[in-house]
Amino acid sequence: NAGVTQTPKFQVLKTGQSMTLQCAQDMNHNSMYWYRQDPGMGLRLIYYSASEGTTDKGEVPNGYNVSRLNKREFSLRLESAAPSQTSVYFCASSEGTGDMYEQYFGPGTRLTVT
């Protein structure tokens, strides 16, 4: 049981390049989330998916797109990377039903845009 996995762990991009961050969970959770974490800013929600087939914007969605490929996988795409997108990106998942809103996080992707 690996929990939440993310690839890649590190990435360096040049301004204007594109990339996709991958996330998968094996806990049969309904909901999945993408956050970014910047010094002094805390965790900020980029996009989330309450259930398979649905996605919705979070606090900072500009410059990103997401795909909920199936129940297990939720990807985040940067179409044209900018230096302001240099950050640590975390994927998380939760049961998302009843009272089970605890979120479990992946190890993160450290992205630098030059």
Partner 1 sequence: QKEVEQNSGPLSVPEGAIASLNCTYSDRGSQSFFWYRQYSGKSPELIMSIYSNGDKEDGRFTAQLNKASQYVSLLIRDSQPSDSATYLCAVGGGGYQKVTFGTGTKLQVIP
List residues near partner 1 by CB under 8 A: 31, 33, 35, 40-45, 48, 50, 58, 90, 94, 96, 99, 101-108
| CB of residue 83 to partner 1, shortest distance in Å | 21
> Between 38 and 79, whose beta carbon lies closer to partner 1?
38
87-94 and 103-105 strand pairing: antiparallel
What is the per-residue DSSP string for 64-82?
Answer: EEEEE-SSSBEEEEESS--
Half-sphere exposure of residue 81: CA atoms within 13 angstroms, side-chain side: 20
| CB of residue 101 to partner 1, shortest distance in Å | 5
> Between 40 and 53, whose beta carbon lies closer to partner 1?
40
> Between 72 and 105, whose beta carbon lies closer to partner 1?
105
C-alpha angle 96-72-48 in degrees, rounded to nearest 5? 50
| CB of residue 80 to partner 1, shortest distance in Å | 27
* CA 31, chain centre distance (Å): 12
